Chains A and B, each alone.
Chain A
Amino acid sequence: MKELVHFDGEALGHARHTVLADLTLGLQDGQRVALLGPSGVGKSTLLATLRERLGQRAAWCPQEHGLVPPLSVYHNIYMGRLEHHSALANLVNLLRPRRDAWRDIQALCAELGLSGLLKRPVVQLSGGQRQRVAIARALYQVRDVFLGDELVASIDPYQARRLLTMIQRQHATCVIALHQRELALTHFDHVWGLRDGQLILDAPAHELTLADLDTLYPDAGSTDTRPEPA
């Protein structure tokens, strides 16, 4: 199997602050990876670095969505392929949508349950709808690898499964940060688990149980969720 990205004992982070130390990790072609770990552990940093390494091969769906609220759903999704058209064509498209792009985006929206919303400004959408617009924009990019950061956080479990299936149908390779441990085992064939700035889990999904995944979360062991006395 071909390896797309490889980290060999690297430190990831920002200018002065190391988020993940001594990371050794490989992303194989055709691997569907669930990225787990408590909030703030460095999932976004890892994904951003993967995006940087993969360049044009990665479709990108960030945690904060990065949508432009005043623009319509159509234009937000169109932005996924903004670099494929000339500046002039993009300008004209703002005034009068391109027929071909409109058709493609309409079909995409129908699959994602966004039919009839193409002309609506994103600012008027609900949280779940915005999430799906962000996913649609990433799907519209038509790249080899899908990178998603907490894609299905604000979506109900049934829809979350459907969306993951859709994404994986189009992308043989994907890395998606999640909080739902069950989905990690049912919809992915590999799990990366981060805790305390370290990769502590790097295993095929079929070898893991929910209890294994619980070890990633510091509060999961105790039934008492109150903070311990200092």
Chain B
Amino acid sequence: MSDERAPGLLAGNSLNLRLARRSLGLIALCLMVLPFADLAITTHDPWAELGRMLTGLLHPDILATESLPHAIALTIGFALWGTLLGMLLGFPLALLFHRSRLVRAGCAFVRAIHELFWALLLLQVFGLSALTAIAALTIPYAGIFAKVYAEILELTPRAPVDALPEGVGRLSRFVYAELPMVWARLSSYTRYRFECAMRSSVLLGFVGLPTLGFHLESAFREGRYAEAGALLWVFYLMIASLALWGHRRLLPWIALGSLFLLGPWPDIDGALLWRFVSVDLWPKPLLEGNWSGLWQWFGEIPDLLPAIGNTLLLGLMGTAGSLLVALLLWPLASRHFGNRPTRMAGKGVLILMRSTPELMLAFIFLLVLGPSMLPAWLALSLHNGALIAFLVARHADAIVPGSHALPASACYAYELLPRLYGGLLALLFYRAETIIRETALLGMLGIATLGFHIDSSFAYLMFDQAFFLLLVTAGLNIAVDALARRYRPRETADTASERDHPAGEATC
């Protein structure tokens, strides 16, 4: 008879133990690099500032903003056209996605650059116009649609195609036996992406385009919290009421109607545009073939390595933070815990946090805590943690626990978490790509990540430098995505969960 010894701490080879070791490794790595992060609170009295903000949120002044309806209409118009054109470009690309390495690489590249960076770039040629706003959404969305649509199309059931008579053409086969089978998933993803576009459209205000975010930023920055509070409420209402006005039959009319508001359209000077693309974006020594000059040009880029380091550092901290937040918060919205009022409140908090884009959260925390990595870290962790927690709670609700009348802690630790953890971690690793993208972007608020230098290079009209930094950001993003893909748990304890949340749901 073999005498089996009880295993030591976290020893063993079961799936969840392996996942637990992987997660603890992530958190340990985060703790190790934490001393390098600047987490100072620099404001004099953060609590008082937060109090004033909350007062503003509770006593909103809806009439303080001039031309609020116009800002709302523009926000919706940009989002709608951005999504629509992104869809029209992305769909044909999705059909080529698995066949062409070039298409895959191109899509990965345009996806890797945040909407706001595209806006900053396009701003230089098209000015503060609807063209800039719509193209800034359309370009990355085309890449995202191509990837997600391709993933959905790949899962098309085969049976209807096999049942078709011989000799049916490719197009007929596609529209009769393939497309209808995945139509519901395609359209639900498109709808979800439109919600993301609404958030991004609001954010376009941060670079000066006249959407809701523009008024929101100036109201917050100037301390007009009653107005800022009202704008925040308007934003939440817009997202929450999407199901009411975002009807399939209504959207085309809204899109057409918004066309009248989007102008004036910029005059496009072909020569100027060509000069920008062929000359301004590239380092001068490179165009002249002067290699030693190019070396010198590299040397003049300020703090490139610290910026990359900070971006990675904050991205790692954000990922670990999201993991902890998600682990703590998902029971708030799950039917296994609490009672109806606590669940309603929990769900409300999670929805509020996941609907508020990181940039906006970070901006608000920045005003409260002062410029350091802390507000960005909080924003990344809370937004992404809440988003993952919400999805995990939905999966938890589908589970029927084996034993009844367990205390909550036992139910959490023995019944639910073991079944959910693989899915949770998979979501987190899917999310890593978005987190690193947002991390770079948060630099625009003054945090020393890559975005800070991109923003200031554009401000000083050093387009070559800005473009180079954009390429670095995109490269970093693609590398992190590849890394996350490598370590993403493939098998989960609850295999059903893997299929109902495709990659798409977690990438906004």
Please give the residue numbers on chain A whose beta carbons come within 8 Å of chain B beta carbons, in ascending order. Answer: 55-56, 60, 62, 64-71, 75, 79-83, 85-87, 90-91, 94, 137, 141
7 more A-B residue pairs beyond the given contacts A56-B165, A60-B165, A64-B159, with a C-beta to C-beta distance below 8 A: A56-B167, A66-B159, A82-B173, A90-B176, A91-B171, A94-B176, A141-B165
In the complex, 5 of the A-B residue pairs with CB atoms within 8 angstroms, ordered by the A residue number, are: A55-B166, A56-B167, A75-B176, A83-B166, A137-B163
Q: How far apart sit A141 and B164, CA to CA, in the bound complex (Å)? A: 10
List 10 A-B pairs, minimum CB-CB distance, nearest first. A66-B163, A83-B167, A87-B171, A66-B159, A90-B172, A70-B180, A83-B168, A82-B168, A68-B160, A66-B160
Q: Shortest Cβ distance from A157 into chain B, in angstroms? A: 26
Contact call B166/A68, Cβ cutoff below 8 A: no
**B184 on the A face (CB < 8 A):** yes
- Partner of A82 from the list B162, B172, B183, B184 (CB cut-off 8 Å) is B172
Contact call B181/A68, Cβ cutoff below 8 A: yes
Interface size class of B (residues with CB under 8 A): 20 to 34
**CB within 8 Å for A79 and B176 given contacts A64-B159, A67-B160, A68-B181:** yes
Q: Which residues of A contact B173 (CB under 8 A)?
A: 82
Q: Which residues of B contact A70 (CB under 8 A)?
A: 180-181, 183-184
Contact call A82/B165, Cβ cutoff below 8 A: yes
**CB within 8 Å for A82 and B180 given contacts A91-B175, A94-B175:** no
Q: Which residues of B contact A79 (CB under 8 A)?
A: 160, 163-164, 176-177
Q: How far apart sit A83 and B173, CA to CA, in the bound complex (Å)? A: 9
Q: CB-nearest residue of chain B relative to A51?
A: B166
Contact call B165/A68, Cβ cutoff below 8 A: no
Q: Which residues of A contact B172 (CB under 8 A)?
A: 82-83, 85, 87, 90-91
Q: Shortest Cβ distance from A162 into chain B, in angstroms? A: 23
Task: Please report which residues of chain B, range 52-100, place their CB below 8 angstroms from some CB of chain A when the two chains form the complex.
Answer: none
Q: Shortest Cβ distance from A36 into chain B, in angstroms? A: 23
Q: Which residues of A contact B181 (CB under 8 A)?
A: 68-70
Q: How far apart sit A28 and B473, CA to CA, in the bound complex (Å)? A: 70
Task: Please report which residues of chain B, range 126-171, place their CB below 8 angstroms from some CB of chain A when the two chains form the complex.
Answer: 159-169, 171
Q: Which residues of B contact A66 (CB under 8 A)?
A: 159-164
Q: Which residues of A contact B167 (CB under 8 A)?
A: 56, 83
- Partner of A56 from the list B166, B168, B177 (CB cut-off 8 Å) is B166
Interface centre among B163, B167, B168, B171 (most CB of A within 10 A): B163
Q: How far apart sit A141 and B165, CA to CA, in the bound complex (Å)? A: 8
Q: Which residues of A contact B176 (CB under 8 A)?
A: 68, 71, 75, 79, 82, 90, 94
Q: How far apart sit A142 and B177, CA to CA, in the bound complex (Å)? A: 20
- Partner of B177 from the list A62, A64, A68, A81 (CB cut-off 8 Å) is A68
Q: CB-nearest residue of chain A relative to B161?
A: A66
Q: Which residues of B contact A71 (CB under 8 A)?
A: 176, 180
- Partner of A62 from the list B163, B168, B180 (CB cut-off 8 Å) is B163
Q: How far apart sit A68 and B163, CA to CA, in the bound complex (Å)? A: 10
Contact call A81/B165, Cβ cutoff below 8 A: yes
Interface centre among B159, B160, B169, B173 (most CB of A within 10 A): B160
Contact call A83/B165, Cβ cutoff below 8 A: yes
Task: Please report which residues of chain B, range 169-194, place their CB below 8 angstroms from some CB of chain A when the two chains form the complex.
Answer: 169, 171-173, 175-177, 180-181, 183-184
Q: How far apart sit A56 and B162, CA to CA, in the bound complex (Å)? A: 14
Q: How far apart sit A81 and B184, CA to CA, in the bound complex (Å)? A: 26
Q: Which residues of B contact A85 (CB under 8 A)?
A: 172
Q: Which residues of B contact A87 (CB under 8 A)?
A: 169, 171-172
Q: Which residues of B contact A55 (CB under 8 A)?
A: 166
Interface string of B95-129 (1 = CB under 8 A from A): 00000000000000000000000000000000000
Q: CB-nearest residue of chain A relative to B183?
A: A70
Q: How far apart sit A218 and B165, CA to CA, in the bound complex (Å)? A: 36
Q: How far apart sit A91 and B167, CA to CA, in the bound complex (Å)? A: 16
Q: How far apart sit A79 and B179, CA to CA, in the bound complex (Å)? A: 14
Q: How far apart sit A65 and B176, CA to CA, in the bound complex (Å)? A: 15
Contact call B175/A90, Cβ cutoff below 8 A: yes
Q: Shortest Cβ distance from B231 into chain A, in angstroms? A: 41
Q: Shortest Cβ distance from A138 into chain B, in angstroms? A: 9
Interface centre among A55, A68, A87 (most CB of B within 10 A): A68
Q: Which residues of B contact A75 (CB under 8 A)?
A: 176
Interface centre among B161, B165, B180 (most CB of A within 10 A): B165
Q: Which residues of B contact A65 (CB under 8 A)?
A: 159, 163
Contact call A82/B164, Cβ cutoff below 8 A: yes
Q: Shortest Cβ distance from A213 into chain B, in angstroms? A: 29
Q: How far apart sit A17 and B177, CA to CA, in the bound complex (Å)? A: 29
Q: How far apart sit A79 and B167, CA to CA, in the bound complex (Å)? A: 12
Q: How far apart sit A141 and B177, CA to CA, in the bound complex (Å)? A: 16
Q: How far apart sit A27 and B326, CA to CA, in the bound complex (Å)? A: 64
Q: Which residues of A contact B162 (CB under 8 A)?
A: 62, 66
Q: How far apart sit A94 and B176, CA to CA, in the bound complex (Å)? A: 8
Q: How far apart sit A60 and B167, CA to CA, in the bound complex (Å)? A: 14
Q: Shortest Cβ distance from A24 into chain B, in angstroms? A: 27
Q: How far apart sit A62 and B177, CA to CA, in the bound complex (Å)? A: 15
Q: How far apart sit A80 and B165, CA to CA, in the bound complex (Å)? A: 6
Q: Which residues of A contact B161 (CB under 8 A)?
A: 66
Interface string of B477-508 (1 = CB under 8 A from A): 00000000000000000000000000000000
Q: Which residues of B contact A141 (CB under 8 A)?
A: 165
Q: Shortest Cβ distance from B377 into chain A, in angstroms? A: 45
Q: Shortest Cβ distance from B91 into chain A, in angstroms? A: 16
Q: Shortest Cβ distance from A126 into chain B, in angstroms? A: 19
Q: CB-nearest residue of chain B relative to A75?
A: B176
